[in-house]
Amino acid sequence: MKNIATKMLPEGYTLSRTLDLRQTKDLVLVNVIGIVLLIASWIGFAGLANRIHPGSMNFSFSAGNIGGALLSLLTLVIVIVVMLFVHEGFHGLCFWIFTKTRPLFAFKGYYAYAAAPDWYLPKGQYLITGLAPLVGITVICVSLMFVLPTWWMSPLVWMLVLNTSGACGDVWMVYWLLRSPADVLARDKGDVLEFYASRC
């Protein structure tokens, strides 16, 4: 079969695996992966920031520094919003490149997604689509650590940590795709991810 996205499921293909974030079991699984990634990425990226700019990630709080705490909270909110848009933007750009059609974007309250619900993507294309935000944002933010001043370290680390933990569904997808046959197809509906494999 050709290594291009298609709207028609080829003959002989059947549903082999599903990740459904509407189901409690799958949602819990993805959140557990997210917590592990959150802890690991915080340790790694905060440590990297402190090596590049010593002391940049040392936090302290006092009752007399309410203004600083509020500023940090506002910064975190801004980082979350920017991260969501950029993360899903990477996914959406890949969907657009591979399908030549506009992707679907949605926000479900506790998660956002970009999707191409009418398309079946081959393994290679879907691996690129799934990993694009994790790889792209990590490369950009780590590169910026080396050129921006110390006060930028906290927002950059939060961006890296939230993006990495937010890629929990993407990490699950990569795990299953790498264990799948070369001709597997992926259909991303946003909150439901389906893998189709040939019966042959």
Whether the predicted pLDDT of 134 surpasses 90? yes
Q: Name the DSSP letter for residue 186.
A: E
CA–CA dist 140, 136 (Å, integer):
6
pLDDT of res. 106? 85
Q: Where are the domains of the chain?
A: 13-55+66-198
Using one digit for the tens of pLDDT, what is the confidence trace for 137-176?
A: 999 999 999 999 999 999 999 999 999 999 998 998 888 8
CA–CA dist 148, 46 (Å, integer):
15
pLDDT of res. 59? 59
CA–CA dist 9, 6 (Å, integer):
7
